[in-house]
Amino acid sequence: MSTVDTTIPALTQLSDDELMLKEAAFEFAESAIKPRVHEMDEAAKLDPDLIKQFFEMGLMGIEIPEKYQGGGGTFFMSIVAIEQISRVDASAGVFMDVQNTLVNNAFLRWGSEEQKQKWLPILANEKVGAYCLSEAGSGSDAFALKASAKEDGGHFVLNGAKLWITNADEAEIFLVFANVNPEAGYKGITAFIVERDSDGFSVSKKENKLGIRASSTCEVLLEDVRVPKENVLGEIGKGYKVAMETLNEGRIGIGAQMIGIAQGAFDATLAYTQERKQFGKAISDFQGVQFQLARMATDIETARLLVYNAARLKASGQKFLKEAAMAKYYSSEVAESVTSLAIDLFGGYGYVKEYPVEKFYRDSKIGKIYEGTSNMQLQTIAKEILK
């Protein structure tokens, strides 16, 4: 009697290409990023030489097709790489995350063929991108933005200010959202491709942050910035669709960053508990510590499954809105709880910068805030399950 193989591959099982990228990203993080982490955190700046290496490694254009000089990979491969980089440094992780899941994805989804041919090779190999949506009065209420764009012949003239712009200090290509028709509300919002050297465009105040300190977060000022009409990304008045659909994908990237942070903290804690001796034996020999380690490992794996599931759904063209919100919400909860427990298990050493877990803890907090707060994720989940 023949039998049917009902084995279902584990969600975390990787293809050969995904495994190769995971290993390459892991080695790059260990050899090139790890020695720089403390110095970059203290200086609140990414090492410029490291940025060059990101491009050389192909980590800034993973999903960009080969015909545009990119890696020709998948969205899921980007998620795997972001996780591995974030295991060592969340600032480096979000640096490549914004490039891949927000900027590149926006061009891939909404760009014309001419725009793809012009901009994607540059983004894959040379220049950093930034995504400019938030403003002082426009955070969770993203469509309350006040930046304006007025038509003037063959150009639009942009005015306004953007806040909390990740990668702004390093970026040379900016996706800027402004309203061409405020009377139409969110239906006037339009996405523009703006180059850093445009007249009237400037990167202003750099925020002094609690965590992900080496990742630049700056204010961007627009003062009569003339943008040619061919630099409209997508349709005029459809910027709200560009913003929301891209952010839905970006939230999975933040989920990958959070599980990377949690895994990095757990790895350090596991090693420490096996080395640290108290009462004549390693503290990992005590059942109380073992139970805490077991909970940490279980929470991380649960978060990873949520993130990977959302990434697989997105990569296969299926609906993923609810799953992305769940992944982002839960992984940020896990990152904060795991890194906090890591400090507890390190004891006094966990509270000093000589050991890595205090930085993991500081870095974890942003997960509940950017690219949609936890409350906004819960609202999305509730809407989806009540449909």
Quick one: pLDDT at residue 11?
76
Q: Are residues 248 and 361 in the same domain?
A: yes
Does a structural domain hold residue 3?
A: no
DSSP 135: B
**Active-site residue among 83, 135, 219, 371?**
371
* Active site (annotated) includes residue 333: no
Q: Is residue 195 part of a domain?
A: yes
Residues 255 and 376 in one domain: yes
384 backbone φψ class: left, alpha, beta (φ>0; ψ -120 to 50): alpha
This prediction has a pTM of: 0.96
* CATH code of 30's domain: 1.10.540.10
Q: What percent of the chain has pLDDT over 90?
A: 96
In a domain, 5, yes or no: no
147 and 117 inside one domain: no
Residue with tokens 């239906």: 187
Domain total in the chain = 3
Question: For residue 22, what are the contacts with CB-CB under 8 A and spacing of at least 6?
Answer: 14, 80, 81, 84
**Residues 207 and 311 both lie in one domain:** no
Question: Does 10 map to a domain?
Answer: no
| 212-237 residue pLDDT tens | 999 999 999 999 999 999 999 999 99
Q: What is the pLDDT of residues 368-385, one digit of tens each?
A: 999 999 999 999 999 999
Residue 112's pLDDT is what? 98
Where a domain ends, among 237, 262, 285?
237
**Shared-domain flag, residues 245 and 378:** yes
Place 2 in a pLDDT band, splitting at 50, 70 and 90. very low
Residue type, 104: N
In this structure, what CATH number is given to the domain that contains residue 311? 1.20.140.10
Position 1 pLDDT exceeds 60: no
Q: Is residue 321 part of a domain?
A: yes
Q: Which of 73, 95, 128 is the last residue of a domain?
A: 128
Residue 21, H or E segment: helix 16-28
Domain boundary among 108, 128, 148: 128
Residues 251 and 158 in one domain: no
Considering the domain boundaries, does residue 339 fall inside one? yes
- For 249, the enclosing helix (H) or strand (E) is helix 239-275
Say whether pLDDT at 312 is over 60: yes
Residue 4 lies in a domain: no
Strand partners, 195: 173
> In whole angstroms, what is the distance from residue 266 CA to residue 109 CA?
36
The mean of the pLDDT values for the chain is 96
Residue 9 has pLDDT above 80, yes or no: no
- Please determine, for residue 310, whether its predicted confidence score (pLDDT) is greater than 80: yes
Do 312 and 270 lie in a common domain? Answer: yes
Together in a domain, 97 and 230: no
Q: How confident is the model at residue 5 (pLDDT cuts 50, 70, 90)?
A: very low
pLDDT of 278 strictly over 90 = yes
User: Does residue 3 carry a pLDDT above 70?
Assistant: no
CB 61 within 8 A of CB 72: no
Measured CA to CA, the distance from residue 338 to residue 266 in angstroms comes to 7
Looking at the structure, tell me whether residues 381 and 249 fall in a common domain. Answer: yes
Same-domain pairing of 338 and 379: yes
Give the CA distances from residue 359 to residues 46, 60, 110, 263, 356, in Å, rounded to whole numbers and listed in that order. Answer: 15, 24, 37, 13, 6
Span 107-159, pLDDT tens digits: 999 999 999 999 999 999 999 999 999 999 998 998 899 999 999 999 999 99
Q: What confidence tens digit (pLDDT) does each residue in 57-115 have?
A: 999 999 999 999 999 999 999 999 999 999 999 999 999 999 999 999 999 999 999 99
pLDDT at 189 over 90: yes
Residue 369, domain member (yes or no): yes
Does one domain contain both 110 and 69?
yes
Residues 245, 381, single domain; the answer is yes
Q: Is the pLDDT of residue 324 over 70?
A: yes
Q: What is the CATH number of the domain that holds 165?
A: 2.40.110.10
Domain membership of residue 222 as a residue range: 130-237
pLDDT digits (tens, 9 = 90+) for 346-363: 999 999 999 999 999 999
Averaged pLDDT for residues 169-183 = 98
- Grouping H, G, I as helix, E, B as strand and the rest as coil, residue 310 is helix
Question: What pLDDT is stored for residue 8 in this prediction?
Answer: 52
Integer Cα distance of 161 and 145 in angstroms: 9
